[in-house]
Structure 1
């Protein structure tokens, strides 16, 4: 199921990851010349690169685009090493894999615009922090930094966020508890998860983009590996990613610091806005004047902005993208 006008390939990374990606690459970087950034579209949970197969039509054809499956998701793979406490699936390590992918497909000098939804958004903001000279801009969709979510799971806040983000706790539980439970009926689990995060009335038939999302988890040959990788993603999110946020001075319990320096596009649903003051969170930890914050859709729009509101999300992205021409 290739994207129109895109090629695809696998790239071996030093970390042991084998990253599958769709790519539309037309530019030829020239030595000592200003290089236009490449757009890297990063998916979230429980999706894969196919979530963007229609959205890429929203991006002008004069832009180079790379759409990878994150390590362990979709057609990508990465060894799970229980002894490393999920280090290989931390967003910091994934960011290194993404940079290697761009280096291999384009050039070690090309700037990056990191565009990420959900877990991909966490990779996008980690890229901007760990590779500030490479990342020209970052777009994060329907998230606040992970440490803000964990901080909200507190008794004095009524554990409202704990209930809404229960999957964060479930998926990060010790091996092999979540893997075994999900694996007993993965079709039910992933359909339930995606429908509960989708806004408005659900169609009678499961949409194609939902089928694309859950298919890798249902594969008899590799589905268990994909489920395990997703759990590793969340185990890292419950430990190493929090530590890395704190090391980068992202901490809701301290005075906010101007951590993010590059232009940021923040797009969010009304449902996330009810839980967090999304614009305030991102502007408080970013350089003044660098954040463009936009709510997408209305009360009937759920978490999957790309798939539920493709045209609106695409228009807002193009407007923000114009500054990099």
Structure 2
């Protein structure tokens, strides 16, 4: 992947050893630390449209999650533990500590947002602020998986099937599968929201067999250990002790039905937020609108 375009000119690159393996991260900007976490099936490159503006006020740390992009893909565990959001969150905390940040804010999309809110629950006092983009909590997704949601979020069930079924199906034509996935989750139902250079990064990562396996393990963890962790926190009454911002696309799962803020209040008493006109990939479909919500929240 060395011939891929650099979408973060002036940023530094780092490799940090963690219990989840070696994590790749970019850093740039100045000011309070802000950890930016990507989702499925992308890499940290997804922040390229928003990073220049955020770097004016914050020191950005933009890693690839374990199993994605240029970060190591941990060996799958018997209970999918290495791909739990708890384990991924621990790795991200170690990355931030290595770079000198004991306390920090997080802005995160999709699977990365699940890692972000898990950090908030598992590491009280670490987060100054948390912004989650276009997700509902894992427990809310599974507990309200009706026919309409299952038809849209079919990948939750498909990717969580036992190895090697989904890996084999995807591996027959990964370019088709991931391009179709990216396009079908946008409001426009095509790839026009994605910079071709960023798309090349996503394709390069998604076409590697070990990373296809890692993405499936991510969802297997979501259907098992991640759900268990959510349910344990709900039962114990544990909540996130910092302000939380939720932003979601009007054309995707959180934008349908009841307000996502209702679901988030179970974990985040101090939550606010609003929708933007977009599908799932809000940071690339509507970066200006997301920044308009995020920048004042971070400055609060």
TM-score over 0.5 for the pair: yes
What's the offset of the Cα at 1:137? 1.1
Gaps of 5+ in 1: 28-35, 252-256
Return the match for 1:101 from 86, 95, 103: 95
> Is residue 144–residue 282 contact of structure 1 (8 Å, CA) maintained in 2?
yes
What's the offset of the Cα at 1:320? 0.5
Q: Does 1:309 align with 2:297?
A: no
> Is residue 114–residue 127 contact of structure 1 (8 Å, CA) maintained in 2?
no
Return the match for 1:224 from 200, 204, 209: 209
Partner of 1:199: 187
> Is residue 258–residue 284 contact of structure 1 (8 Å, CA) maintained in 2?
no
Partner of 1:7: 12
Partner of 1:277: 259
Return the match for 1:128 from 116, 120, 144: 120
> Is residue 42–residue 116 contact of structure 1 (8 Å, CA) maintained in 2?
yes
Shift of the 281–103 alpha-carbon distance from structure 1 to 2, 3 Å rule, reads: same
Return the match for 1:19 from 2, 23, 27: 23
> Is residue 66–residue 74 contact of structure 2 (8 Å, CA) maintained in 1?
no
Q: CA-atom RMSD, angstroms?
A: 2.0
State TM-score, norm by structure 2. 0.91
Give the whole-Å Cα distance in 2 for the aligned partners of 1:126 and 1:313: 22
Alignment of 1:207-246 (within 5 A): 207-208=195-196, 209-218=198-207, 223-246=208-231
> Is residue 51–residue 306 contact of structure 1 (8 Å, CA) maintained in 2?
yes
Deviations along 1:118-171, whole A, 9 cap, x unmatched? Answer: 000100100111111111111100011011111122xxx4x2211111101110
Q: Does 1:50 align with 2:45?
A: yes
Give the whole-Å Cα distance in 1 for the aligned partners of 2:224 and 2:60: 31
> Is residue 249–residue 279 contact of structure 2 (8 Å, CA) maintained in 1?
yes
Give the whole-Å Cα distance in 1 for the aligned partners of 2:238 and 2:292: 28
User: Which segment drifts farther, 242-251 or 40-49?
Assistant: 242-251
Q: Does 1:186 align with 2:174?
A: yes
Q: Secondary structure at the match of 1:92?
A: helix
Shift of the 275–74 alpha-carbon distance from structure 1 to 2, 3 Å rule, reads: farther
State TM-score, norm by structure 1. 0.85
Gaps of 5+ in 2: 1-5
What's the offset of the Cα at 1:317? 0.8
What's the offset of the Cα at 1:4? 2.2
Deviations along 1:42-70, whole A, 9 cap, x unmatched? Answer: 00000001111221012142411100000
State the aligned residue count. 292
Q: Does 1:172 align with 2:176?
A: no
